[in-house]
Chain A
Amino acid sequence: MNQTALSSESESGASHADHDHSPFFAHHFESPQQQFDAGKLGMWLFLITEILFFSGLFVAYAVFRARHPEVFADAHLYLDKSLGTVNTVVLLFSSLTMAWAVRCAQLNQQRGLIVCLTTTLACASLFLGIKAIEYAHKWDSGIFWAGMYQPLADYHGDHGLSPFLIGLSVPALLALVIFAVAAVLAYARRARQQLIVFGGLALTSLAFFVGVGCAKAVPVVVDAMVGGDHDQATVVSVEGGRTESVQEGSEDAEQPPDEAPETGPTGFSPAGIFFSIYFAMTGVHAIHILAGMGVIAWLLVRSVRGDFTPTYFGPVDYVGLYWHLVDLVWIFLFPLLYLIQ
């Protein structure tokens, strides 16, 4: 604000030739190209910090997996591979639409840009919906991080509505109501731009529940396809094995995986650490998804306003890079957590 005021004076210098068109040219740069390059380099550097941020979690994963390989192999059976697969596909698709959005901005396809950004948002929301089911399912059966890890031996699938699922759905429900009302109001006032933005955001919030529905449906479908209770049986047997094992065992014991799982000196189950890492990694990833959704929503507002043109599309490009990184992190999380064996 101050900046533009400040430098608009110095602006009269002759060296800046061709930037008067874009209202988003920051005047401490020599040229729009310099501005674009600076933004892009900045985003790449930020992505490097993101990678190192996640690297701490990956190192923790590697350390504990190297120490307790059998615990990781056992514990990961609690995770639902089919839901993980669906989520991977959803995120990959959202990366496609994000890349497409960048292309649309470069080609000045305003409608395509809006559609692609909304689709990306909806996919992100769908991902979170499925994730909510996964979390709620685990919490229902007592699978928390190490400090609260007490799997219920008698838990057999979900019956009725989980309070955890309701808790996780409340923000999405609130968002849905708010955006839907705002969209209706915008429609009534014939504010077309607001209608598109709020409609898109309402759609996004709705996608969360589509995700929840999907996640409810997928296991049924998979069961029908694979035939029967194979997965369920495995999980139950693992649970049984774990809960009965409060006998003593040394931490670095090298027992075959089908013997009683080890317990630490104070009776903790090392499986709790697996789930600590699972919740930490997927939780931090989910926070990044949420942050990405916030920024993409901002892009949506700006693109509805028509800010982005073939000469000014930097923000779409940068956010696209960020979104691909978030996607990429998931591409590593999925096999490391869901596909151990």
Chain B
Amino acid sequence: MATDAFPAHGAGPGEALAGDNYLTHDHGILSWLMTLDHKRIGVMYLIGILSSFLLGGIMAMLIRAELFTPDQMFLTENKYNEFFTVHGAVMIFLFIIPGIPGALGNFVLPLMLGAKDVAFPRMNLFSWYLWMTGAFFFLAALVVGGLDTGWTFYTPYSTQTSYVVVAAMMGVFILGFSSIFTGLNFIVTINTMRPPGMTWFRMPLFVWSLYATAIIQILATPVLGITVLLLTAELVFGIGIFDPNLGGDPILFQHFFWFYSHPAVYIMILPAMGIISELMSVFSRKPIFGYRFIAYSSIAIALLGFLVWGHHMFVSGQSALASFIFSALTFSVSIPSGIKVFNWLATMYKGSIRLQTPMCYALSFLLLFGIGGLTGLFLGALATDVHLHDTYFVVAHFHYVMMGGTLIAFLGGLHYWWPKMFGRMYNEAWGRLGCLITFVGFNATFLPQFLLGSRGMPRRYARYEIEFQGLHQLSTVGAMILGAGLLLVGLVLLHSLFAGKRAPSNPWGSGSLEWQATSPPSPHNFEDTPTAGNPYDYSQMHYDPRIEGYVPNKTVDS
């Protein structure tokens, strides 16, 4: 894990008291695998999560490549089914859901609270091991082959296809508990370990969003747990609850599944929104606009998210009344989402905007999430959904929200906290270029898919009519650009580890507490428990060109 890249005694600019930090404090692989330090666990999550992203991304590239022509190029229909299943399952369960809370949240949350660690460090490490175990089951399912149900594992097909579904189910079950324990840890940490001076409404908004996320993780994930357990029992014993041949109800599985998986969408997007709230304020050099509204809207999204699962099932035969109610409730979720977007815009208004790399991602997020959110309205409306259901329109929509939203925000957050995590600055120009290529590639990939979908191209098909070929080829070329962009992003970040400039404590001029720790932080984060003020007050600091970072105006309070 590249710890040797960080000399213990760096006297780079801005690191007056650098010496011992969490990366160099202990050596050896065991000091990582047995660590209880939330920062190291966060880094281990980061490595695991980025590896799964790479795996899922390679799958996506192969799928897009196969779709370059209407006929078979190199994937048979069955292999194609397996590929999109594994792509979806890996991206959802191994990357997006644990991504921001597991990697960035673990690293940043205690620092933001001025705490030494999360409330339950052992449970934190345990949940990382659970994540690894779940990932192992997914890999096993991938190696064995034959997992072709789609990431939704709908019955009755999933009870009739191969037994490899059991491995995937175990993976999902274990990953679910990893997610639950992370959420539990965060709620307890936020409730009991805030520093003096940090009232609920002085918490950074990223903390609020992690809190809202944790609520969903705790309330929704157990339902997924029992669902996959019942599905496993269905496969192994034939308990018949989901199997129509035994008197069961396959639609019940859909209800159970979406009762988790719709709120899970908010597990994915809420922390992303929290990151954007931080970035917007810091890089506009202006206090966040409508703090309380953004904070409450996170909680509102978390709670409303539980009431809309039926909008995935408009054409599954649920009653018209149920569809009507679910549709109406679905629109209500757009209110808190809209509140956030308008507050971000108002934050930028008359701000002193700096287009550093994290802010470029934040702006990308705003555009892509805007498109993703607005196209969601067509799918939430009953009449249009019947036409668009199970087409590429849906694929494009959720990629705009999940990838354009969550992944872009994740990258923004990663670039924002990278100096804190590893003590190195990446190259700004290349970082921005990576963001630009990713943005262009992303739109080239998924905008054509909206057109494909509205013209009737169904999702999950390995072959298609010749009339769709032009748009499919555009999408495939876009995917390659997107892949190149992400590769560049990865290279820029990796390069910084070895050749980056040393990061000052506060390179961006942020007001939240994690920037009061050294970069990288010492093993127990702070010398003394810091006192929290307003996290969005930028008047108390100024730029010091000697260290290329910000320092407090009064140097008394270190």
* A contacts, CB < 8 Å to B: 1-3, 6-7, 9-10, 13, 15, 26-30, 34, 37-38, 41-42, 45-46, 48-50, 52-57, 59-60, 63-64, 145-148, 251, 264, 266, 268-270, 272-273, 276-277, 279-280, 284
B233 contacts partner chain A, Cβ-Cβ < 8 Å: yes
Counting from the closest, the 7 A-B pairs by CB-CB distance are: A147-B238, A146-B240, A56-B226, A53-B222, A276-B239, A3-B36, A28-B116
Nearest CB of chain B from residue A131's CB, rounded to whole Å: 18
Q: Are A148 and B238 in contact (CB under 8 A)?
A: yes
Q: How large is the interface on B (under 10, 10 to 19, 20 to 34, 35 or more residues)?
A: 35 or more
Most chain A beta-carbon neighbours within 10 Å: one of B120, B193, B240, B243: B240
The chain B residue with its CB closest to the CB of A48 is B218
The chain B residue with its CB closest to the CB of A271 is B247
Query: What are the residues of chain B within 8 A of A284 when measuring CB–CB?
Result: 226, 229
Most chain A beta-carbon neighbours within 10 Å: one of B26, B222, B252: B222
B430 contacts partner chain A, Cβ-Cβ < 8 Å: no
Choose one: B117, B220, B223, B247; the contact of A273 (CB below 8 Å): B247
Query: What are the residues of chain A within 8 A of B189 when measuring CB–CB?
Result: 38
Q: Are B248 and A56 in contact (CB under 8 A)?
A: no
Most chain A beta-carbon neighbours within 10 Å: one of B187, B241, B252, B528: B241
B191 contacts partner chain A, Cβ-Cβ < 8 Å: yes
Nearest CB of chain B from residue A291's CB, rounded to whole Å: 13
The chain A residue with its CB closest to the CB of B118 is A28
A279/B239 contact (C-beta < 8 A), A1-B36, A2-B36 known? yes
Give me 13 other A-B pairs in contact (C-beta within 8 A), A15-B529, A276-B246 excluded: A2-B34, A3-B121, A7-B524, A29-B193, A49-B184, A50-B222, A55-B222, A56-B227, A145-B237, A146-B238, A146-B247, A272-B247, A277-B241
Q: Are B240 and A48 in contact (CB under 8 A)?
A: no
Within 8 A of A (CB), among B22-70: 25-26, 31, 34-37
A49/B218 contact (C-beta < 8 A), A2-B35, A272-B246 known? yes
Q: Are A276 and B36 in contact (CB under 8 A)?
A: no
Choose one: B37, B184, B524; the contact of A45 (CB below 8 Å): B184
Q: Are A2 and B223 in contact (CB under 8 A)?
A: no
Q: Are A146 and B248 in contact (CB under 8 A)?
A: yes
Complex Cα–Cα for A273 and B242 (A): 10
Query: What are the residues of chain B within 8 A of A34 when measuring CB–CB?
Result: 192-193
The chain A residue with its CB closest to the CB of B526 is A10
Complex Cα–Cα for A188 and B492 (A): 67
Complex Cα–Cα for A227 and B381 (A): 64
Nearest CB of chain B from residue A295's CB, rounded to whole Å: 14
Query: What are the residues of chain A within 8 A of B239 when measuring CB–CB?
Result: 145-147, 276, 279-280
Q: Are A147 and B237 in contact (CB under 8 A)?
A: yes
Query: What are the residues of chain A within 8 A of B240 when measuring CB–CB?
Result: 145-147, 268, 272-273, 276
Within 8 A of A (CB), among B255-312: 256
Q: Are B226 and A41 in contact (CB under 8 A)?
A: no
Nearest CB of chain B from residue A203's CB, rounded to whole Å: 31
Complex Cα–Cα for A37 and B227 (A): 32
The chain A residue with its CB closest to the CB of B110 is A28
B188 contacts partner chain A, Cβ-Cβ < 8 Å: yes
Q: Are A9 and B246 in contact (CB under 8 A)?
A: no
The chain B residue with its CB closest to the CB of A10 is B524
Complex Cα–Cα for A268 and B239 (A): 12
B390 contacts partner chain A, Cβ-Cβ < 8 Å: no
Nearest CB of chain B from residue A60's CB, rounded to whole Å: 6
Nearest CB of chain B from residue A155's CB, rounded to whole Å: 21
Q: Are B246 and A147 in contact (CB under 8 A)?
A: yes
B547 contacts partner chain A, Cβ-Cβ < 8 Å: no
Within 8 A of A (CB), among B109-123: 115-117, 119-123
Q: Are A60 and B252 in contact (CB under 8 A)?
A: yes
The chain A residue with its CB closest to the CB of B227 is A56
Query: What are the residues of chain B within 8 A of A60 when measuring CB–CB?
Result: 230, 241, 252
Nearest CB of chain A from residue B310's CB, rounded to whole Å: 14
Interface contact tally, CB-CB below 8 A: 151
Instruction: List 6 contacting pairs A-B, 8 Å CB cutoff, sorted by A.
Output: A7-B524, A34-B193, A48-B219, A64-B249, A147-B246, A268-B247
Nearest CB of chain A from residue B272's CB, rounded to whole Å: 23
Query: What are the residues of chain A within 8 A of B25 when measuring CB–CB?
Result: 6
A28/B115 contact (C-beta < 8 A), A53-B223, A53-B226, A273-B247 known? yes
Bitwise, B204-243 to A at CB < 8 A (1) or not (0) is: 0000000000000011111101110110010001111101
Q: Are A276 and B241 in contact (CB under 8 A)?
A: yes
Choose one: B26, B117, B246; the contact of A28 (CB below 8 Å): B117
Query: What are the residues of chain B within 8 A of A277 when measuring CB–CB?
Result: 241
Query: What are the residues of chain A within 8 A of B248 when measuring CB–CB?
Result: 146, 273
Complex Cα–Cα for A46 and B230 (A): 21
Complex Cα–Cα for A55 and B222 (A): 9
B380 contacts partner chain A, Cβ-Cβ < 8 Å: no
Nearest CB of chain A from residue B125's CB, rounded to whole Å: 10
The chain A residue with its CB closest to the CB of B522 is A10
Query: What are the residues of chain B within 8 A of A37 when measuring CB–CB?
Result: 192
Query: What are the residues of chain B within 8 A of A276 when measuring CB–CB?
Result: 239-241, 246
Query: What are the residues of chain B within 8 A of A268 when measuring CB–CB?
Result: 240, 245-247
Complex Cα–Cα for A42 and B25 (A): 30
Q: Are B191 and A41 in contact (CB under 8 A)?
A: yes
B180 contacts partner chain A, Cβ-Cβ < 8 Å: yes
Q: Are B120 and A38 in contact (CB under 8 A)?
A: yes
Nearest CB of chain A from residue B309's CB, rounded to whole Å: 13
The chain B residue with its CB closest to the CB of A46 is B184
Nearest CB of chain B from residue A329's CB, rounded to whole Å: 13
Complex Cα–Cα for A3 and B35 (A): 8
Query: What are the residues of chain A within 8 A of B237 when measuring CB–CB?
Result: 145, 147-148
Query: What are the residues of chain A within 8 A of B188 when measuring CB–CB?
Result: 38, 41-42, 45
Complex Cα–Cα for A284 and B227 (A): 13
Nearest CB of chain B from residue A26's CB, rounded to whole Å: 8
Complex Cα–Cα for A2 and B116 (A): 13
B102 contacts partner chain A, Cβ-Cβ < 8 Å: no
A54/B245 contact (C-beta < 8 A), A3-B36, A28-B116, A45-B187 known? no
Bitwise, B412-436 to A at CB < 8 A (1) or not (0) is: 0000000000000000000000000
Nearest CB of chain A from residue B231's CB, rounded to whole Å: 11
The chain B residue with its CB closest to the CB of A3 is B36
Complex Cα–Cα for A276 and B242 (A): 11
Choose one: A1, A54, A148, A273; the contact of B226 (CB below 8 Å): A54
The chain A residue with its CB closest to the CB of B252 is A63
Nearest CB of chain A from residue B227's CB, rounded to whole Å: 6
